[in-house]
Amino acid sequence: MSKFCPYCGNPTKPSDKFCIICGKPQLTDLPKREKKPKIQEAVKEEEVKPVEKKVEEIKEEKSEEILDEESEYKKKKLFKKVKETGDVKPLPEEVKEQMVYYIEFNDIQLNKKVLVEKLTEISKSTKDPRYDYDTNFKKEINIKLEALKTLISELKQKESVIKQNLEEPFIVQRITNDIDTKVFQLENLAREHKLHKVDKESFEKLREKYKQEKSDLENEKDDLIAGMKLWIQDLKLEKAELSGERKLNKGRFHAKEITEDEYKKKDKGFDLRLKKIKTKIKTLENLTK
């Protein structure tokens, strides 16, 4: 029975781990979010609706900033098929899945930071004299504050779900640790042989065994890093293209083709998109170490 991607709405197969259209992982095994308890009857419905409405407004306002993940995936696949050039092997699906988890986890940190900064900025309005005597002004500020707190809470919940699926340490670090173990075994074996605690035949067999295991691990690590670097290169190209678009936007403003407000709005969007790409690049580079 066919199903649909929860991110882009395109049909997918039950066996698909990733959407072939937007590249988003089909994480069907993630725990479902628990339904929030019903609001007590004592709370009036008209008091709740403004906050829900403000959350939606902020989500729309942030669509070009921090809450535009879906359209970003639609425009460009996060999972780009690794180019099979030279000796570079495609990354295993489970490795790519973990890389996406790490990217999304770090992206949430950036999103939380932006929202917290916005929350701090709006909180300053509570010190405005109007907050004490202007009922409408106070209500508007409180709705905005509550909406931002709701969004931050949602990000924290998503962060918790993703963290449960992160395999730590990442496979590259695990292989590195295994290589270090083999190096120690070889060095220790040599010492034991010199002290005549290991006979020559056993020494040679174990040495070849450890050397082969170490070589296999090193090859596996090299293949993984090579595939990851191709992904990083794609992101760097995307970053360069985006930087060019940002400069073009600035040029259009200086040429008076667009207004200052239009320029600032687009430039703010470019700035956040560049930060997101930089976060992805930094995340992947750290995973290769």
Global pTM reads 0.62
Q: How many CB atoms lie within 10 A of CB 80?
A: 14
Q: Which residues pair with 18 in a beta bridge?
A: 25
Sites in the chain below the pLDDT cut of 50: 1-2, 29-44, 63-64, 66-86
Could you give phi then psi for residue 199, rounded to 5 degrees? -70, 165
pLDDT at 42: 42
Q: What is the pLDDT of residue 289?
A: 87
What pLDDT, on the 0 to 100 scale, is given for residue 45? 52
Predicted confidence at residue 211, as pLDDT, reads: 95
The 3-class SS string of 97-160 reads HHHHHHHHHHHHHHHHHHHHHHHHHHHHHHHCCHHHHCHHHHHHHHHHHHHHHHHHHHHHHHHH
